[in-house]
Amino acid sequence: MNKVYLAAAFSERWTPDSQLRLSSPFFRRMTALQKSVVQAFAALDAMAPAVMTQAREQNAPIFYSSGFGELSAMLQVTRAIMDHDLPVSPKEFQHSVQNAALAYLSMTHSIRHPCYALSGGFLSADNCLQMAQQRIAYGLDSMGFVIHAHEYLGQNGADRAQAEILLLSHHAEQAWRVLDFCRDGALEDFTIHRPEIFTEDDSRIPPWLLNQGIPAAARMVRSLSGESLVTQWLPIP
């Protein structure tokens, strides 16, 4: 079986004050979640141009998961229906599809890679990582992206978001880490295990929201898995 390496990673936090990494005519309509994903990809482009070129040439698939999808868009639509405030907003409805951020990623970066939106419960990011990792390990892909994003819901909807992006590869050169899955037991509890809830800004928040910085790209998965360690990042021997 092929080894799977981490070739590049970035963690992007989007707030209304964030600096633009790229300009796009779509921005006026995009949610914080969508912007965080698009900007994280742009950051990875700037940070690791060589492997990103490789990934583009190989049409590397993108596996995307999110903490409960397009929360604010879904909230707007369900709220409108509950309050009989019809018709619902067409913009919010088309943003409520789980692959909306992927669609904007594809449009803003002109990339036509296969894009998959996955839903994995409390361990969405792990589930997504498992998909990309297995495909490389079993020789289906030589490179693959994993993106996990989450919105922070505040008083006025979601104006902040966080995205983690990982580029996995079977190429050992330029790699930072080896990715390894512990199958025993962990796989069975993959989607159901409920991790501990942390507190930030008086809100109880799932722990994947708390990741920051590049090392978190590795920590992300480890912290997610709670007691049963689903994913391990090992140093390059």
Partner 1 sequence: MPVQKSVEEIKSEIKQLLLEVSNLPGMTPDRIDDQLSLFQDGLGLDSIDILELVVALDKRYAIKVRNDEIGRNVLRNVSTIAQAIHHSQLQTAN
Partner 2 sequence: MRSSSVSITGISIASALGRRWHDLGEAILRHQSGLHKSHRYAEWIAAPLGELPLDDWQVPTADRLKSDRVMRRVMLGMIDQLAADTQVFQRYRPRDIGLFLGTTTCGIDGFFAALAQHRTTQLPLLEFLSPDMQQVWITQEMRAAFPLRGPQFTFSSSCAAAAQAIGQAYDAVRSGICPVAIAGGIDILNRVTLHGFDSLQILDHDFCQPFAPNRKGINLGEGGALLLLEGQPQGEVIASVRGYAALSEAHHMVQPAPHGIWMQRTMDMALQNANWQPDRVDYINAHGTGTEGNDAAEGEAVSQLFGNLDRLHATKGLTGHYLGAAGALEAAITVAMLKKKGLKKGLSNSFGFGGSNISLLFATDS
For residue 202, what are the contacts with CB-CB under 8 A and spacing of at least 6? none
| Residue 52: CB minimum distance to partner 2, A | 16
What are the residues whose beta carbons fall under 8 Å from the beta carbon of 190, sequence distance 6 or more?
Answer: 120, 123, 126, 127, 130, 230
Q: Which of 3, 18, 24, 80 binds partner 2 (CB under 8 A)?
A: 80
Q: Is 116 in the site for partner 2 (CB under 8 A)?
A: yes
Q: How far is the CB of 21 from partner 1 (least distance, A)?
A: 16
- At its nearest, how many Å lie between partner 1 and the CB of residue 90? 4
Question: Helix H segments across 112-197?
Answer: 124-137
CA dihedral 98, 136, 142, 69 (to 10 degrees): 10
Please enumerate in sequence order all residues whose Cβ is within 8 A of that of 151, keeping only pairs 6 or more positions apart, or say none. 31, 32, 33, 66, 67, 70, 71, 72, 158, 160, 161
Structure tokens at 112: 């036509």
- Which of partner 1, partner 2, none interacts with 144 (beta carbon under 5 to 8 A by kind)? none
113 binds, among partner 2, partner 1, none (CB under 5 to 8 A by kind): partner 2
Chain contacts with partner 1 (rule: CB under 8 A):
27-29, 85, 87-91, 94
Give the interface with partner 2 as residue ranges (CB under 8 A): 61, 67-69, 71, 74-75, 77-82, 86-90, 93-94, 96-100, 102-103, 106-107, 109-122, 124, 127, 130-131, 134-135, 138-140, 153, 187-188, 190-192, 203-206
